[in-house]
């Protein structure tokens, strides 16, 4: 198990999640990330469908971003997740993709001011808590200290689980807004976030879908940079098939 849920020092961290922290909506400032402040939350919607097959299995589900700063809660965003888990036989890697689509639920935009984090977060195993218990390595070769607030195509997070080394690499899709996105790497906790918000103000506008896609690669042992690079290239540049009808 490489993830954690309800860690005592950040009980709003839940394995892999998506949310926005610093926002503006109709002059109000709901925070959908730090839910303890009770200004915003992300509600579970419904499971739309699920499937399984020889190549991959997965599901799609919905969520709603709710503004709690008014007497009557207001839905701000409609969100849909697609999770796709691949069958990688005879390999040490477990691979799954997450694609997030967000749309305004009203005719008003969600404004996202410049901020340190907000987007897709990951919380590592509780045994990785503490500055010396987690290893970070980015595609630029940067570690925990040097990698924070930089941009990278992928980032490895790992440490010992019950005495054995395990890890996860989170990959950023080239089609993502402001790719490669900036990273929030916590100095002492096993927390990681990919976010477009550190690079400046932006917004999710009515009638325009915000899409963000990520690949997660889980494995035992230390990261093999050459193999991770190959896996990222497979993700970023999948094979294309062209049919010539002449």
Q: What is the pLDDT along the chain (246 residues), one digit of tens a residue?
A: 999 999 999 999 999 999 999 999 999 999 999 999 999 999 999 999 999 999 999 999 999 999 999 999 999 999 999 999 999 887 899 999 999 999 999 999 999 999 999 999 999 999 999 999 999 999 999 999 999 999 999 999 999 999 999 999 999 999 999 999 999 999 999 999 999 999 999 999 999 999 999 999 999 999 999 999 999 999 999 888 888 887
Q: How many CB atoms lie within 10 A of CB 78?
A: 16
CA distances from 16 to 6, 119, 168, 215, 230 (A): 12, 11, 12, 12, 24
DSSP E strand boundaries for 186-237: 191-195, 202-204, 210-220
What is the per-residue pLDDT for 122? 98
Q: What is the pLDDT of residue 136?
A: 98
Is residue 200 within 8 Å of residue 114, measured between CB atoms? yes
Q: Which two tokens stand for residue 47?
A: 């499971």
The answer to whether 176 touches 100, Cβ cutoff 8 Å, is no
Report which of 196, 191, 194, 198 is spatially closest to residue 144, judged by C-alpha positions. Answer: 191
Phi, psi angles (nearest 5°) of residue 135: -110, 130
Query: What pLDDT, on a 0 to 100 scale, did the predictor assign at position 88?
Result: 86
Helices (H), the chain: 144-147, 225-236
Q: 214 with 96: CB under 8 angstroms?
A: no
The rounded distance, in Å, linking the Cα atoms of 46 and 167 is 30
Residue identified by tokens 């198990």 is 1
Question: 150: how many CB neighbours lie within 10 A of its CB?
Answer: 15
Cis peptide before 180 (omega within 30 of 0): yes
* pTM above threshold 0.85: yes
């Amino acid at each position: 198990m490489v993830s954690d849920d309800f860690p005592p020092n950040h009980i709003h961290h839940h394995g892999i999640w998506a949310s926005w922290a610093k926002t503006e909506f109709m002059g109000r400032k709901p925070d959908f990330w730090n839910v303890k402040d009770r200004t915003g939350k992300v509600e579970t919607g419904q499971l739309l469908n699920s499937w399984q097959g020889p190549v991959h299995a997965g599901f799609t589900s919905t969520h709603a971003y709710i503004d709690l700063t008014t007497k009557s809660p207001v839905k701000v965003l409609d969100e849909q997740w697609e999770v796709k888990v691949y069958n990688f036989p005879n390999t040490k890697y477990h691979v799954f993709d997450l694609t997030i689509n967000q749309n305004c639920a009203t005719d008003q935009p969600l404004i996202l001011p410049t901020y340190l984090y907000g987007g897709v977060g990951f919380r590592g195993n509780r045994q990785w808590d503490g500055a010396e218990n987690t290893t970070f390595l980015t595609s630029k070769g940067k570690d925990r200290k040097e990698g924070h607030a930089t941009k990278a195509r992928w980032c490895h997070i790992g440490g010992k689980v019950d005495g054995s080394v395990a890890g996860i690499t989170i990959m950023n899709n080239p089609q993502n807004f402001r790719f490669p996105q900036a990273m929030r790497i916590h100095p002492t906790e096993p927390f990681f976030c990919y976010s477009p918000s550190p690079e400046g103000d932006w917004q999710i506008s009515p009638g325009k879908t915000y899409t963000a896609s990520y690949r997660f690669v889980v494995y035992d042992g230390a990261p093999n940079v050459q193999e991770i690079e190959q896996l990222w290239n497979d993700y970023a540049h999948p094979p294309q098939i062209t049919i010539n009808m002449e």
